[in-house]
Amino acid sequence: MPEQQHPLRGAIVFLASQTDAAQQARAELVALYGDAPLSQAGVIVALGGDGFMLETLHATQARDVPVYGMNRGTVGFLMNSYTTDDLPERLAAAQETVLNPLAMRATDRKGHIHEALAINEVSLLRSGPQAVRLRISVDGRVRMEELVCDGALVSTPAGSTAYNYSAHGPILPIEADVLALTAMAAFRPRRWRGALLPKSATVRFDVLDPEKRPVMAEGDGQSVRDVVTVEIRSEPAVRHRLLFDPGHGLEERLIREQFF
C-alpha cells in the first residue's frame, strides 16, 4: 500500500527492548515527552532493532495503533534514525505504510495443528542431516511434484530484504501485491530459484518422507517441529501500521538495498 501522511493523534507510548542502549533511549525520551499507558496510545514508539519491532507489531496488532520505530539495535531496516529532538513534529509528519502478515497453518506428525502470523516470512527448514523433499501446491494445484533442498520460504514485500534476500530471493516493492517463494540450496531442480505469486495465493508444502527427512516450520521466530504440511497465505484482516520519516520509508529503503 502507498505511504500516506499520518496526523498525530493521542498520547505517545514508549516501548524498548532490554538492551542498555534501548533502555537509556527510553529514559531520555520519557523525561522529555512523558509516557502514557498502552491503553491510551495514539502512537507507539518502539526503541530497538528489527527483531524488537516485529515483537512490538505482534504484541499490539489488536490495537490498530501506528508504530514508529527508532533504531537502538543492529539492523534497523524497519526503524527510523534515533534522535530526541522534535519528536512530536516528526510523528505528525511521518508517512504510514500498512503491512499484512502471512498466516501459517502447520500440521505436525502427530496431527496437531499450529497457527501463527508472520510479518516477514514463513520458512521451512531441514532439521536433520539430509536435504528435505517438498511438494509445492498453489491454490490447490500441484506446481512442483518434488523440490529437494535445505528449505524454502514464502516472504512478504516487507520481509523480502531479510531471510529471503539472504537466500537469493528477489526484493519486492512494498506496494506490490505479490509474495516471493524462494528455495534454499535447491538440489533438484538444481537451477530453480523460486517464483513470484499473487498476494491472494495460498501456498501449500507437503513434506515427503518426513520421518527420514524431518522439517521445521518457522514464522517470525515461532517454530513448529516435525511438520508434514504447511499452508501459507496473506491475512488481509490483520493490519500493521508503520510510520517512517518522509523520504525514508520502506519504499525508499527497498530501492536503496538494490544498489549496494
Judgement on whether residues 85 and 198 belong to the same structural domain of the protein: no
Judgement on whether residues 86 and 151 belong to the same structural domain of the protein: no
Total domain count, the chain = 2
Q: Which residues are annotated as a binding site for NAD(+)?
A: 50-51, 120-121, 150, 158, 161-166, 185, 222
Predicted TM-score (pTM) of the model is 0.85
pLDDT of residue 9: 57
CATH of the domain at 28: 3.40.50.10330
Q: Which of 20, 50, 220, 245 is catalytic?
A: 50
Residues 6+ apart with CB under 8 A from 24: none
* Residues counted in the chain: 260
Judgement on whether residues 108 and 60 belong to the same structural domain of the protein: no
Judgement on whether residues 133 and 228 belong to the same structural domain of the protein: yes
Over the stretch 3-38, which tens digit does the pLDDT of each residue have? 344 445 579 999 999 999 999 999 999 999 999 999
pLDDT of residue 215: 98
Judgement on whether residues 20 and 78 belong to the same structural domain of the protein: yes
pLDDT of residue 75: 74
pLDDT of residue 83: 94
CATH of the domain at 167: 2.60.200.30
Judgement on whether residues 203 and 149 belong to the same structural domain of the protein: yes
Judgement on whether residues 30 and 137 belong to the same structural domain of the protein: no
Domain of 37 in residue numbering reads as 4-100+239-257
Judgement on whether residues 114 and 96 belong to the same structural domain of the protein: no
Judgement on whether residues 139 and 189 belong to the same structural domain of the protein: yes
Q: Which residues are annotated as a binding site?
A: 50-51, 120-121, 150, 158, 161-166, 185, 222
Cell 527510553, residue? Answer: 26
Judgement on whether residues 112 and 223 belong to the same structural domain of the protein: yes
The verdict on whether 64 is a catalytic residue reads: no
Could you write out the DSSP letters of every residue in the chain? ---EE----SEEEEEE-SSHHHHHHHHHHHHHH----GGGEEEEEEEE-HHHHHHHHHHTGGG---EEEEE-SS--TT-BPP--TTHHHHHHHPEEEEE-PEEEEEEETTS-EEEEEESSEEEEEE-SSSPEEEEEEETTEEEEEEEEESEEEEE-TTTTTTHHHHTTPPP--TT--EEEEEEES--BSTT---EEEETT-EEEEEEESTTTS-EEEEETTEEE-SEEEEEEEE-TT--EEEEE-TT-SHHHHHHHHTT-
Q: What is the CA radius of gyration of the chain?
A: 20
Judgement on whether residues 93 and 113 belong to the same structural domain of the protein: no
CB atoms within 10 A of CB 183: 24
Nine-digit cell string for 12: 505517545
pLDDT of residue 5: 40
Judgement on whether residues 142 and 194 belong to the same structural domain of the protein: yes
Which residue ranges of the chain lie beneath pLDDT 70? Answer: 1-9, 249-250, 253-254, 258, 260
Over the stretch 64-74, which tens digit does the pLDDT of each residue have? 999 999 999 88
